[in-house]
Amino acid sequence: MHISRIDVHEVRNLRNATLDCHSLANIIYGQNGSGKTSLLEAIHLLGRGRSFRHRDLRLVVNHSAENLVVSASIESGKASRSNKLGVMRSRTGQFTARLDGSSLQTATQLAALIPIQLIDAHSFNLLEGGPLLRRQFVDWGVFHVEHAYTKLWRRFQKTLKQRNQLLRHGRIDEDLLRVWTAELVPLSEQVSSYRKRYIIDLASYVQTVAGAFDGLGELEIEFYRGWKDDVSLAEIMEAQRQRDVSLGTTSQGAHKADVKVRVNGQPAADTLSRGQIKLLVYALKLAQATHYQAKTSESCVFLLDDLPAELDYHHRHQVIDCLIDLKCQFFVTGVDKGDFTSLVNNCEHTKFHVEQGVVKSD
């Protein structure tokens, strides 16, 4: 996947900005607050339909506008022609997306068109935070390589929601609870099966990519499905029924899954420095992109917000070299363009200077 042109309108302080970005490497530099991260946010909106900085999109639309619009020309490695993709978000919550003039119904369709990998200041949470982000990491990978997974995942989420709503009622209809439990158990097992197969497959890619980065040690990645391996989920839910009623929620299942990452036998978040954790996050995301490319023959688009932060020059070079080897288009921000000059000398690249919301090719 490659983005050749992006037009941004009314995204924060970017009133009107255009990037001709035919290059593999796209360097976005400028002072803090100039609008660099807002450009990455605009690309993320194009690929996900939402911001990575705020859930409330009213904060993303320019204060003097009612709508934001992001459009782009995108090129797939499997197709010989360019497609036009655009999204519009309003302050009132209206969402419109079009591909070559035809309406798209969901943000999921956008994600399938532009597989985006984001690494920013909050990416530490993939290892240091709760299991939700790690489940999202796994689900991103399964979604992009298993076409049946999205429908299954939605059915699972809907059924889980229905069971939890019933559990929160003052008086429980036992027959209805058995119905929702009987439907939830096989869905949870199927979701877990997809996730487990993906992690087993991904593990070798993680080992390979991490081996290209100095100082990470011996890595292990293990999947926890959300309940004990030696007991069936049906048995667990029957035994936990009264506890679930007391808590008002389903206590075990695929929604409790997690991924455990260890370095030299110890939890990565407990043993690595901040710089090493950031490097490990890069390794995980790059391994995921490598796996995706092997399965689909397409490449991801990487958004790297402030690459120089937490990474020394040597490790920055290793990250960029890996992206170039994968032929993944990437957009990277920083304050000083000099931080990138020697990093991208070996590939086609374009520099963009951002100053007070105005973007110029350098």
Residue 79 has pLDDT above 70, yes or no: no
Q: Give mean pLDDT, residues 248-268.
A: 96
Phi, psi angle pair for 189, to nearest 5°: -65, -40
Residue with tokens 């374009």, as numbered in its chain: 350
For 298-305, what is the mean pLDDT? 96
pLDDT score of 265? 92
Element (H, E) at 23: none
- pLDDT beyond 80 at 173: yes
Residues 199 and 139: beta-carbon distance below 8 Å: no
Q: How confident is the model at residue 32 (pLDDT cuts 50, 70, 90)?
A: very high
- Domain at 127-296, CATH class: mainly alpha
pLDDT at 27: 95
pLDDT band at 78 (very low <50, low <70, confident <90, very high): low
Using alpha carbons, select from 260, 311, 257 the residue that is nearest to residue 284: 260
Q: How far apart are CA 115 and CA 121, in angstroms?
A: 20
Q: What is the mean pLDDT of residues 204-217?
A: 90
Boundaries of CATH 3.40.50.300 in the chain? 1-115+298-362
In degrees, rounded to 5, the angle at the alpha carbon of residue 38 between the alpha carbons of residues 32 and 42 is: 165
**pLDDT above 80: residue 80:** no
Higher per-residue pLDDT: 216 or 36:
36
Highest mean predicted confidence (pLDDT) among 41-55, 158-172, 181-195? 181-195
Sorting pLDDT into bands at 50, 70 and 90, what band is 285? very high
User: What is the band of 247 on the pLDDT scale with cuts at 50, 70, 90?
Assistant: very high
Residue 243 pLDDT > 90, yes or no? yes
pLDDT on residue 221: 94
What is the pLDDT averaged over residues 263-289?
Answer: 94
pLDDT at position 81 is 74
Average pLDDT, integer, range 174-200: 97
pLDDT at 206 over 80: yes
Q: What angle do CA 277, 296, 350 make, to 5 degrees?
A: 65
Residue 55 is given by DSSP the state: S
Lowest mean pLDDT among 6-15, 83-92, 155-164, 343-352: 343-352
pLDDT > 90 fraction of the chain, expressed in percent and rounded: 84
| % of residues, the chain, pLDDT over 70 | 99
* Residue range(s) occupied by CATH 1.20.1050.90 in the chain: 127-296
Q: What are phi and psi of 18, to 5 degrees?
A: -130, 135
Output the six-digit token pair for 307: 């690459």
Smallest CA-to-CA distance from 292 within 15, 108, 220, 284 is with 284
In this prediction, residues 264-269 reach a mean pLDDT of 93
Q: What is the pLDDT of residue 56?
A: 86
- Architecture of the domain delimited by 1-115+298-362: 3-Layer(aba) Sandwich (3.40)
Distances (CA, A) of 288 to 142, 254, 299: 10, 21, 11
pTM: 0.95
Average pLDDT of the residues of the chain: 93
Q: What is the mean pLDDT of residues 304-315?
A: 89
Write out pLDDT tens, residues 96-146: 999 999 999 888 999 999 999 999 999 999 999 999 999 999 999 999 999
